[in-house]
Amino acid sequence: MTKKIDALCKLYSAWKGKVIMKKKFLSLLLTAALTLSMAACGGAEEPAGGEAADTGNSQSGGTEEVVSDAGTGSTEEGDKELTIQCWDSFNVDAMKKAIEIYTAEHPDVSIVVQEALSADIQKTAQISAMSESYDSLPDIFLMDDQVFAKYLQNYPEIFTDLTDSGIPFGDFAASKVANSVKDGKNYGVPYDSNTVIACYRTDYLAEAGYTIEDLTDITWDQFITIGEDVLAKTGMPMLTNVQGEPDLLNMIMQSAGISVFDENGKIDLVDNEGVKVAMEVYIDLVEKGILQEQIDWSGYQGSINNGNVVGTINGSWICATIMSTDQAEQAGNWAVTNMPKLNDFEGATNYSAQGGSTWAVSVNCSDYDLAVDFFKSTWASSTEFYDSILVDLGAIATYLPAASSEAYNQKVAYFGDEAIYSKIVSYGGQIPTINKGIYWSEEKEALGVAISMVMAGTSDLDSAIADAQQNVEFNTGQ
């Protein structure tokens, strides 16, 4: 599908000198691209979360959910309407709950939720910007946090400025809000929590003579010492990760405020002390057997669910994976704490982010005031709403006031009867904000290759970093 769409884009480039034909041609291009997308992706799955593979949620396409006071999506003349696009039934259900709360007080409002692949939402946004024709954009759409900045930089015309909307952006974790800010202006409403947590099996720790307190507020050097001891006494590695995926590396770097892009958005790997220090920690974890690498996401999930590792460090959405196991002995034997910090590196903390997504209001929004009021009444104010999606769906908020609600302070039996959700929200407010640049995908791929080369013994660390820098520069035209 991608090759066909790229071919169409190249065809457009050949026509772009003919200004009078541009809109007509790109209108046809958009129709063709979306037709190809639906034909190719109707029943396909694309992992969701950080870039997509991180939450383990599948993204199905082609399904349309309709929510309104009548349940049909039809409205009488004069009624108000909004159309929303997001991926995965998990996100659709969360939005449906927000709509239920809002329409209970606004019966004249009808809201249609369309389920589509994250990649298709991005493609629609890109082609709409290229064609300068925005009719195919929904009123509101969900955008992956890892690419939000890229689309905001390259296609700012498709987003609506929400800075003066009255939405209380200060009530959300600052690092989360930063994903949708450009030139000091806000273009998104934060959705799910991407706060990093460390989850460990307390029964395995106890076998080696440790408690969760021993893993709280520690450094990576301390973690490695404990990890070696736990491995020697139990035979269990402390952590699991997908081979060649630098997600944990990126978490380590953000926890210390380390950016791989400079203030001008250019890749900054060579002579970046933080990058090298973080990579040395990751390599040390693998070489000492403390971190067990898996060949794919399925292996990663399996290592957790089958009890083959002590724990994992990932976005808070990993709780759903942990609780999905059918191994009865795991219930009650999990605990949540913060991640290790990067030793004595200046600015190092025990908090980071991974994955997540944010809502955007498109330039094609038919009723800006309605869209803003909807968000101000639900996603940006209602602890009732966040309580409901936590209890019903396991969706964890990045909305800071939610931490004080009754639901967020309920004890979770699976995690040793601890109120883990209020803890997670409080962690979110302490994550360092960094410049993630607009080439996150390219950076991730290059660092993944660099780690693999070092681990395979085909390159030393400095050379691998230099190659990664060169690859990103080449792929982004810097």
Ordered by where they begin, the domains of the chain are 43-193+356-405 (3.40.190.10), 196-352+433-476 (3.40.190.10)
Retrieve residue 456's tokens. 């395979």
State the pLDDT at residue 79: 66
- Rounded to whole angstroms, the Cα distance separating 160 from 180 reads 11
Instruction: Classify residue 390 as exposed, middle or buried by CB count within 10 Å of its CB (0-12, 13-18, 19+).
Output: buried
Q: Give DSSP secondary structure letters for 60-108.
A: --S-EEEEESSSSS---TT-EEEEEEESSHHHHHHHHHHHHHHHHH-TT
pLDDT, tens digit (0-9, with 9 covering 90-100), for 248-292: 999 999 999 999 998 888 999 999 999 999 999 999 999 999 999
State the pLDDT at residue 325: 84
Across the beta sheet with 196-201, the strand order is: 311-315, 196-201, 334-337
- Rounded to whole angstroms, the Cα distance separating 93 from 98 reads 9
- Rounded to whole angstroms, the Cα distance separating 442 from 428 reads 26
Cβ–Cβ < 8 Å for 432, 196: no
Look-up of token digits 């601890």 = 418
CA 83 vs. chain centroid, Å, equals: 23
pLDDT tens per residue across all 478 residues of the chain: 443 344 444 333 433 333 333 333 333 333 334 333 333 333 333 333 333 333 333 333 444 444 433 333 334 444 689 999 999 888 999 999 999 999 999 999 999 999 999 999 999 999 999 999 999 999 999 999 888 988 999 999 999 999 999 999 999 988 899 989 999 999 999 998 889 999 999 999 999 999 999 999 999 999 999 999 999 999 999 999 999 899 999 999 999 999 999 888 899 999 999 999 999 999 999 999 999 999 999 999 999 999 999 999 999 989 988 998 878 889 999 999 999 999 999 999 999 999 889 999 999 999 999 999 999 999 999 999 999 999 888 888 889 998 888 899 999 999 999 999 999 999 998 999 888 888 888 898 999 999 999 999 999 999 999 999 999 999 888 7
State the pLDDT at residue 280: 96
State the pLDDT at residue 234: 97
State the pLDDT at residue 333: 96
- Rounded to whole angstroms, the Cα distance separating 162 from 260 reads 28
- Rounded to whole angstroms, the Cα distance separating 95 from 413 reads 27
Closest CA to 289 of 86, 50, 69, 455: 455
Mode of pairing for the β-strands spanning 357-361 and 185-186: unpaired
Closest CA to 189 of 389, 428, 399, 405: 399
Cβ–Cβ < 8 Å for 188, 357: no
The whole-model pTM stands at 0.78
Name 195's bridge partners: 353
CA 351 vs. chain centroid, Å, equals: 15
